[in-house]
Amino acid sequence: MIVSRVATSTSERLQATFTRPVRLAVGGAGSLLVVAGCLLPWATFFFGFPGKVTLAGFPGGSRLYPLLLVAVAPLLLVAVEGRRRAGLAAAWGVFGITAFNIAAIGFGRDLPLGLLEERGGGGLGAVAIGAWLALAGGALLIAAFASLPSSDEERPFRPGLPAALELLTIALSLGLILFAVVIALEVDETSRFISLIAFATAAGMTLARLNVFAYVTELFDRHRTVTLAAAAIAAVVFPFTQGGNAYWIRVFASIGVFAAAAIGLNVVVGLAGLLDLGYIAFFGVGAYVGALFAGAARTTVHVKLPFLVVVVMGAVIAAIFGVIIGAPTLRLRGDYLAIVTLGFGEIFRILAFNFDWLTRGPNGISGVPDLAIGSYNFGATNEVLGFSLPGFANYYFVELILLAAIILAFTRLNDSRIGRAWIAIREDETAAAAMGINTYRLKMLAFGIGAFMAGAAGTVNAHVTTQVSPDSYGFLESILLLAAVVLGGMGTIGGALLGSAALFIVPEKLRSFQDKRLLLFGIALIVIIRFRPEGIVANRRRKAELHDADPSTGDASGAPPGAPVVGAVAQ
């Protein structure tokens, strides 16, 4: 509190003293200092710090990020005044990244919590002139932007491009996303990864405050087909960017399976509003069916069926389980349903653990063979257009097809009468029943469809992981799936995709933190939900409910405690 008051008064004083020419001069000097600083060495001698930071004339490693951020800074000052908040985000980004790297170069793993693996290099003496210049430049930029008047903040971003250029923008945006993903996946060293996260946050905030995101989202909405096609192309192109390396393709295939299941859960939780804490069990049923009937080395059922038959079978069996579980429990309301589904999830895991004759107990079913269609083996490496594709890319593509099918089903359901009925139930079950909706049957349908999707995803997963064991289907996995849906944004496809990607990639990228990764993951969950309670990709209506100040409910602390704004029951 005190800090922010001081900051306000400081910026007031800055606004009073900095006239426009002074501001431009300070900002310009700051930008130049950052550019110069990033091209000069950041470390005085080499001691294994990543990113070639001792070289001059080359912005390697973390030095690239302030440079990219500063690219927009002078422009914000000169071309469009009044973008104070956006400019501040970029300026603080420059300052923060530089300050962090100074600390990392100087002290390395002596920093608190032992977060960094990099060696520290003899204190601040190891920090070269470039870093200090960039730091000073960042400080000047902060001052320059802080001196801007704080009015005129919410200008919409509408470049008013011709239609052709709009399409190009879509393609470029998606291309940029793919490019960013590929680059981000390459970054391995802890210090660079932290710098990258800081950069992404600063750049994201700058763009969001310029309302660029709103514009791009609106473009996506207006040209839906093009966007979908472009997204599909980006997804198909991804394996070709990996230079024959299977690791990230494998991770992305896992994300695909996870996302397919998350979309299924989205039907249950996001659309119909049924809190399911044992959802992973349906995924597990599918996986066991997939492994048992695929001719796995250690199957207990010596029947081998074609892949497509197995997928349908897994999905149907999972759906039957869904209906069996749903029948007695779906008459329960809200949180009671949650604990009952938790119970069923645990029962599934324990039975899979103990029915050795079918599931081989804790050993699980292993040695699921590679898929083969005719004489074509899915495990084989391919050469396509001169690119080497590891065998795993095949599964990645199978995954994409499954995902596309599930996304299609979800959108159709969402737009249908059934989908609207679900939302009605979610918002107010009593009112929905009064309107003549058979709530019990529709809830059952949601449960069954969700289970069906999870089952299908599970059978594919058996091939992706080549092994199925009860440990993979516990309470924690259910919770993670739910976290993917809620974190991404309930009821949206983008949310489920982004949520599962985040929950998979973030821990993978946090690998360089070794022991501390779960700790950081926990913090990340808390922080993200704190600032985006509606999820990263928000359902538009929900976002409006949350962020538009409503005078009748007052501020946050004055709201009825716990009374859920969404799904609040009959008033």
Partner 1 sequence: MHNGQRFWRASALLVTASLAFAACGSDANEEGVGATGEGGAATKTVKIGVIAPLSGELSALGQGIRNGVDLAIKQANDSGKVKGWRIELAAEDDTAKADVGAQVATKLSSDSQVAAVVGTLNSSVAEQVAPILNRASVVMVSPANTNVALTGRDKLPNQQRVYNTYFRVATTDDVQGPFAANYASNELKAKTAVIIHDKKTYGQGLSEAFKGQFEKNGGRVLGTETINPGDKDFTAVLTRIKPLNAEMIYYGGEYPEASLLASQAKQQGINVPIMGGDGMYSGAFFETAKEAGVGTLVTSVGAPTESLSSARDFVDAYKKANYSQPYEAYGAYAYDAAKVIIEALSKTLTETSELNTATRQKLVEETGKVNIDGATGKVSFDRFGDTQTKVLTMYKAETKAGKQEWVAAKTDEFK
Partner 2 sequence: MQQFLQQLVNGVVLGATYGLIALGYTMVYGIIQLINFAHGEIFMVGAFAGLAMYSYVLPESMQGNPFIVLPLVILAAVIVSVTVALLVERYGYRPLRRAPRLAPLITAIGVSIFLQELVRLFYPGARSQVSFPRIIEGPNLELGGVTIARTSLFLLVVALALMVALQTFIRTSRTGKAMRATSQDADTARLMGINTDRIIVLTFALGAALAAVAGVMQGMRFVSIDFRIGFLGGVKAFTAAVLGGIGNITGAMLGGFVLGIVEAMTTQYLLGSAYKDVAAFVVLIAVLVFRPQGLLGERVAVRA
Task: Return residues touching partner 2 (CB under 8 A).
Answer: 269, 275, 328-329, 331-333, 335-336, 338-340, 342-344, 346-347, 350-351, 353-354, 430, 475, 479, 482-483, 486-487, 490, 515-516, 518-519, 521-526, 529-530, 533-534, 542, 546, 553, 556-557, 559-567, 569-571
Partner that binds at residue 172, options partner 1, partner 2, none, CB closer than 5 to 8 Å by kind: none
8 binds, among partner 1, partner 2, none (CB under 5 to 8 A by kind): none
The distance of closest approach from Cβ of residue 503 to partner 2 in the complex, given in angstroms and rounded to an integer, is 11
CA pair distance 107, 118, nearest whole angstrom: 9
Considering CB distances under 5 to 8 angstroms, the limit depending on partner class, which of partner 1, partner 2, none binds residue 67?
Answer: partner 1
367 is in the binding site of which of partner 2, partner 1, none (Cβ under 5 to 8 A by kind)? partner 1
Q: C-beta of 354: minimal distance to partner 2 in Å?
A: 5
Neighbours of 295 (CB within 10 A): 16
- Cα distances from 385 to residues 240, 382, 393, in angstroms, run 10, 10, 15
Closer to partner 1 by Cβ: residue 250 or 443? 250
Q: How many CA atoms lie within 13 A of 67 on its CB side?
A: 16
Rounded CA-CA distance 106/208 in Å is 33
Cβ neighbours of residue 422 closer than 8 Å, sequence gap 6 or more:
267, 271, 272, 273, 442, 446
Residues constituting the chain: 571
Express the helix, strand and coil content of the chain in percent, nearest 5 each.
70, 5, 25
Q: Which is nearer to partner 2, 163 or 570 (CB)?
A: 570
Point out which residues bind partner 1 (CB under 8 A): 35, 39, 45-46, 48, 52, 54-55, 57-60, 64, 67-68, 70-72, 74-75, 78-80, 155, 157-161, 244-247, 250-251, 254, 353-354, 361-364, 366-367, 390, 392, 464-467, 469, 471-472, 508, 511, 514-515, 517-518
**Closest CB to partner 1 among 426 and 463?**
463
Using CB distances below 5 to 8 A depending on partner kind, what does residue 328 bind out of partner 2, partner 1, none? Answer: partner 2
Q: Which is nearer to partner 1, 176 or 228 (CB)?
A: 176
Interacting partner of 96 out of partner 1, partner 2, none (Cβ under 5 to 8 A depending on kind): none
- Nearest distance in Å: CB 556, partner 2: 6
Contacts of 212 (CB under 8 A, 6+ apart): 157
End-to-end CA distance of the chain: 37
- Comparing CB distances to partner 2, the nearer of 157 and 475 is 475
CB of 44 to partner 1, least distance (A): 12
What b/e string do you get for 400-430 counting C-beta neighbours within 10 Å, with b at 16 or more? bebbeebbebbeebbeeebbebbbbbbebbe
What are the CA-CA distances from residue 532 to residues 172, 293, 305, 466, 488 (Å)?
27, 43, 46, 37, 10
CB of 434 to partner 1, least distance (A): 46
Name the binder of 408 from partner 2, partner 1, none, CB < 5-8 A by kind.
none
Q: Taking the complex as a whole, how short is the minimal distance between the CB of residue 317 and partner 2, in angstroms?
A: 20
Q: Compute the least distance from the CB of residue 70 to partner 1, in Å.
A: 8
Q: Residue 206 CB, nearest distance to partner 1 (Å)?
A: 11
Report CA torsion sign: 159, 164, 167, 169. Answer: negative
Residue 372: beta bridge partners?
A: 377
Residue 120 is given by DSSP the state: P
Token pair 């709201």: residue: 559
Pick 72 or 453: Cβ nearer partner 1: 72
Residue 19 site contact among partner 2, partner 1, none (CB < 5 to 8 Å, cut-off depends on kind): none
Least Å distance, CB 212 to partner 2, is 26
Instruction: Provide the b/e sequence for 212-234 (b: ≥16 CB within 10 Å).
Output: beebbeebbeebeebbeebbeeb
Q: What are the residues whose beta carbons fall under 8 Å from the beta carbon of 222, sequence distance 6 or more?
A: 166
Residue 486 binding: pick among partner 2, partner 1, none (C-beta 5-8 Å cut-off by kind): partner 2
Burial-class residue 77 by CB neighbours within 10 Å (0-12, 13-18, 19+). Answer: buried
Minimum CB separation from partner 1 for residue 403, in Å?
18
Q: At what angle do helices 475-488 and 517-531 cross, to 10 degrees?
A: 40
**Among partner 1, partner 2, none, partner that 335 touches (CB below 5 to 8 angstroms by kind):** partner 2
E strand or H helix that includes residue 44: none
